[in-house]
Chains A and B, each alone.
Chain A
Amino acid sequence: MNGGRGGPGGGVEVWSEHSVPGPSATNLADLLERILDKGIVIAGDIKVDLLDIELLTIRLRLFIASVDTAKKAGIDWWETDPAMSSRAARSELLEENRRLRERVELLEAVEDGSDDPDGEDGLPPLRLRTRKREYPRR
């Protein structure tokens, strides 16, 4: 309505450095748990999924205000973080497993007829049975 709203694509500066005189001393985690989790919630026109934001924030470890919410969404990094849980050991195995599986897939792919047995970045050269010339050309 009024104020310095530019035209379309006019590059309005929304949050200037000086636009926030708020008490910056306020602990961010305290603040976020209050304004994301508390306050009155009524249906808005523009639905911003605060859950998404929370999950991201959680992943970034800014805070964990809504562990239950996160759990419902299947986010449970704290259970798989080596620093936080003995379950982590298991997850490290899973991770190693995954890496091995990828490696196997790669090997199989190479065997399927690549001319580049030297593999991709960082991987040692792959010396395989090179029967590739026997495959019929597609």
Chain B
Amino acid sequence: MTDTAPAPATAHDRPAAAQDGPATAHDRPDRTVATWVFAVGRAYGAEDLAGAAGLSAAPVRPLAFAGLTAVVQDVPAALFGREALTERLSDPGELERCARAHHAVVTAAAACGPTVPMALATLYLGDERARAALTADAGRFRTALERVGGRVEWGVKVYARPDAAGARPGVPAGGVPGPDAPGAGRAYLERMRGVQRAREEGRSSALRTAEEVHAALSALAVAARRLRPHGPGASGERRTQVLNAAYLLPESGADRIAAAVEELRGRAGAGVDIETSGPWVPYSFAGEA
């Protein structure tokens, strides 16, 4: 009650032991902040990054290492320790907010030049530790920057619609006999067989379309990666995802992919949806695999 009044929230510089409260080692690297790394590029100016909010109230700033530049931000260590952060990110709302904040910084950085995004929650106990770890991997970053420079990622997903079984060939046009009508059992079996057949046909045609789409778009792309299809039920999705892929294209390639997808849609016919997303910062092509 009497010993520690709340410290004033204006810690603009780091005066040694200017704050009361539990003793923190202010003479050593500040243990109350951690360094969150968003992305790595060749060079960013402080003003390039000033617009991005990031995850804390501190500015998003460049951190030079080994001739490259990381995009980093100080975050309160107490809230970004292993347990606190795991717990936070385990909450869907917080996870989303954190993911979107991370993504917003990555996107802002990428607007300034080739950018390799880091996986979410790459954290260090201060700038020196961050610099050491980043420097140790400088070669990987250079290779990745070479790969993604001047390029963007497009996401393409192909879905089979559940209603796409179409005209339900097994269903008699004159309606279905009631459960007590004569022949109801046989009619039921017929119907089920028809539904089954239609479902199988729909499925294999959707899978064929998926392969066609992937082949056509891979031919356009500098690189292509198949991601794991999202399962049924994801985000309330009722369609079956048969392709989830990412394509690395030149920044100028938007028209080409749009045209190609339009043509593929025409060929795929009813029952199959082809959706695109992008341009993305090339997340899917940052890593080696």
Q: Interface of A with B (CB < 8 Å)?
A: 1-10, 12-15, 18-24, 26-50, 52-53, 56-57, 60-68, 78, 81, 83-84
Contacts of B218 in A (CB 8 A): none
16 CB contacts below 8 A, A to B, read A2-B13, A5-B58, A7-B6, A7-B9, A12-B57, A12-B76, A35-B283, A37-B227, A39-B116, A41-B287, A42-B136, A46-B34, A48-B123, A50-B120, A53-B89, A61-B234
A-B contacts counted at CB < 8 A amount to 244
Residues of chain A contacted by B59 (CB below 8 angstroms):
2-3
A27 to B21: give the CA distance in the assembly, Å. Answer: 43
Q: Which A-B residue pairs are the 7 nearest by beta carbons?
A: A7-B7, A22-B104, A3-B58, A34-B283, A64-B231, A6-B9, A8-B21
B103 within 8 A of A: yes
Are A40's CB and B140's CB within 8 A? Answer: yes
B53's partner among A21, A28, A84 (CB-CB below 8 A) is A21
CA A5 to CA B85, docked complex, whole Å? 17
A57 B92 Cβ-Cβ under 8 A: yes
**B202 interface hit (Cβ, 8 Å):** no
Chain B minimum-CB-distance residue to A18:
B53
> In the bound complex, do residue B234 and residue A31 qualify as a contact, i.e. CB atoms below 8 Å apart?
no
Enumerate chain A residues within 8 angstroms of B280, measured Cβ to Cβ.
Answer: 34
Is the beta-carbon distance between A60 and B92 smaller than 8 angstroms?
yes
| Chain B CB within 10 A, most for which of A1, A29, A40 | A40
**B56 (CB) vs chain A CBs: closest residue:** A14
Q: A12-B79, A22-B100, A35-B117 are in contact. Are A64 and B7 (CB under 8 A)?
A: no
- Report Cα–Cα, A113/B5, bound state, in Å: 55
B252 within 8 A of A: no
> What is the bound-complex CA distance between A7 and B10, given in angstroms?
8
Q: Taking the complex as formed, is B230 at the interface, i.e. its CB lies under 8 A from any CB of chain A?
A: yes
Smallest distance from the beta carbon of B59 to chain A beta carbons, Å?
Answer: 6
Answer whether residue B205 sits at the interface, using C-beta atoms and an 8 A cutoff: no
Please measure, in the bound complex, the distance between the C-alpha atom of A120 and the C-alpha atom of B207, giving whole angstroms: 53
Chain A hits for B104, CB < 8 A: 20-23
A14-B55 contact given A48-B86, A52-B86, A61-B234, CB 8 Å threshold: yes
CB distance from A108 to the nearest CB of B (A): 37
Contacts of A43 in B (CB 8 A): 133
Chain B residues near A3 (CB, 8 Å)?
Answer: 11-12, 56-59, 74
Task: Tell me the minimal C-beta distance from B127 to chain A in angstroms.
Answer: 9
Q: How far apart sit A38 and B78, CA to CA, in the bound complex (Å)?
A: 27
- Say whether A42 contacts B120, CB under 8 Å: no
Tell me the smallest distance from the CB of A137 to a CB of chain B, in Å: 47
Interface size class of chain B, counting residues whose CB lies under 8 Å from the partner chain: 35 or more
Q: B287 and A67: CB pair below 8 A?
A: no
**Interface membership of chain B positions 235-253, coded 1 if the CB is closer than 8 angstroms to chain A and 0 otherwise:** 1000000000000000000
How far apart are B66's CB and chain A's nearest CB, in angstroms? 13
A5 to B19, CA, bound (A): 12
Contacts of B286 in A (CB 8 A): 38-40
Docked pose: A35 CA to B280 CA in angstroms: 12
Most buried by B among A15, A33, A65: A15
Asked, given contacts A35-B283, A57-B95, A63-B230, whether A44 binds B21 with beta carbons under 8 Å apart, the answer is no
Residues from chain A with a CB closer than 8 A to the CB of B86 are: 48-49, 52-53
Whether A23 contacts B107 by the Cβ 8 Å rule is yes
Establish whether residues B95 and A32, one from each chain, have CB atoms under 8 Å apart when the complex forms: yes
In the bound complex, CA of A27 to CA of B276 (Å): 11
Q: Which of B20, B99, B107 has the most chain A CB atoms inside 10 A of its CB?
A: B99
Q: Within 8 Å CB of B277, what residues of A?
A: 26-27, 30
B58 close to A2 (CB less than 8 A): yes
Query: What distance in Å separates the Cβ of B233 from its nearest Cβ neighbour in chain A?
Result: 5
B163 contacts partner chain A, Cβ-Cβ < 8 Å: no
Residues of A within 8 A of B57 (CB): 3-5, 12-14
Chain B residues contacting A83 (CB-CB under 8 Å) are: 232-233
**A residues less than 8 Å from B158 (CB atoms):** none
Inside 8 A of B121's CB, which chain A residues have their CB?
A: 44, 46, 48, 50
